[in-house]
């Protein structure tokens, strides 16, 4: 294995999301790769990103990435579909090459999700359920068509789903109406869909209700498992980066909001108690 140069930073893998949904990605990554150190940063004070402009999402995401770099992370995962859609490419192409350490890397969640689609759909018709920002960006159709030009992609924004999760109403009977409404609308738009991608990291918490109102022949794709496998593959192929990611089986949680509020919500996403959280500012 290649050893990192002494001049290159070593540290935890950074995981960023605008809110709590990225914890579903972190949970799967830690389950699959428990030996690594992680720092999770949630910009909870400024969430949601889904309705914000490209410029604002880029600005906020860059601030978070720079914070994680400053904390020693050589690799940052944007565990947020909106940030992946609106900020990732610019950060990769413009900011990283001009940074004081252009060997650091920032990866997103859309590409790993798109890569798995080709072996799952038989009808070659897929649906994307996501935030308005992710749907408007057209990032999923662009990524899918780079890999599989023959697949038809139909996207639909589900503006009520994130509030249901954030307010811990995702198990309530009242959530049924909004879950069924969007699934019905998507399948009315393209009845040939046989695969639905949950293009928002909050949506896996609604998975039971989503399956309840989705015909049984349709596959539901939650991102966490695919992102985790993609990250493992990436580090296997880039041994120089793997050598820079420290392995102490630790996880640190940072938030721009109240630590107490984060701890309460994080327990829902991670199914664990006594999460210690630090409050930070981004600029």
Which DSSP helix (H) or strand (E) runs through 107?
A: strand 105-107
Q: Between the CA atoms of 163, 87, 102 and 142, what dihedral angle is there, to the nearest 10 degrees?
A: 110
List phi, psi (to 5°) of 78.
Answer: -85, 95
| 13-17 and 38-42 strand pairing | parallel
| Residue of 223, 272, 258 lying closest to 80 (CA atoms) | 223
Residue 80 annotated to the active site:
yes
Choice among 73, 200, 245, 251 that is catalytic = 200
Sign, CA dihedral 252-256-262-265, equals negative
* Helix (DSSP H) and strand (DSSP E) numbers for the chain: 14, 10
Active site (catalytic) residues:
80, 200
């Amino acid at each position: 294995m290649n050893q990192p140069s002494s001049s290159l930073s070593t540290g935890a893998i950074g995981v960023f999301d605008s809110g709590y949904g990225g914890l579903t990605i972190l949970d799967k990554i830690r389950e699959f790769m428990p030996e690594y150190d992680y720092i999770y940063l949630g910009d909870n004070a400024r969430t949601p990103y889904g309705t914000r402009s490209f410029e604002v999402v880029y600005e906020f995401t860059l601030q978070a990435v720079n914070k994680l770099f400053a904390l020693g992370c050589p690799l940052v995962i944007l565990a947020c579909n909106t940030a992946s859609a609106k900020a990732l490419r610019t950060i990769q192409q413009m900011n990283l090459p001009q940074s004081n350490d252009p060997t650091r890397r920032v990866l997103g969640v859309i590409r790993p999700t798109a890569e798995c689609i080709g072996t799952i759909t038989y009808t070659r018709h897929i649906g994307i359920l996501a935030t308005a920002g992710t749907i408007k960006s057209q990032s999923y159709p662009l990524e899918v068509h780079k890999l599989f030009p023959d697949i038809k992609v139909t996207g639909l924004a589900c503006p009520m789903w994130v509030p249901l999760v954030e307010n811990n109403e995702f198990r309530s009977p009242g959530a049924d109406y909004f879950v069924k409404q969007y699934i019905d609308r998507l399948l009315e738009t393209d009845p040939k869909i046989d695969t639905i991608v949950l293009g928002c990291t909050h949506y896996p918490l609604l998975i039971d209700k989503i399956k309840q109102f989705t015909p049984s022949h349709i596959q539901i794709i939650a991102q966490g498992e695919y992102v985790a496998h993609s990250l493992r593959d990436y580090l296997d192929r880039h041994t120089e980066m793997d050598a820079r990611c420290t392995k102490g089986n630790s996880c640190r949680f940072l938030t721009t909001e109240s630590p107490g509020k984060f701890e309460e919500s994080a327990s829902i996403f991670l199914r664990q108690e006594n999460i210690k959280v630090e409050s930070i500012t981004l600029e």
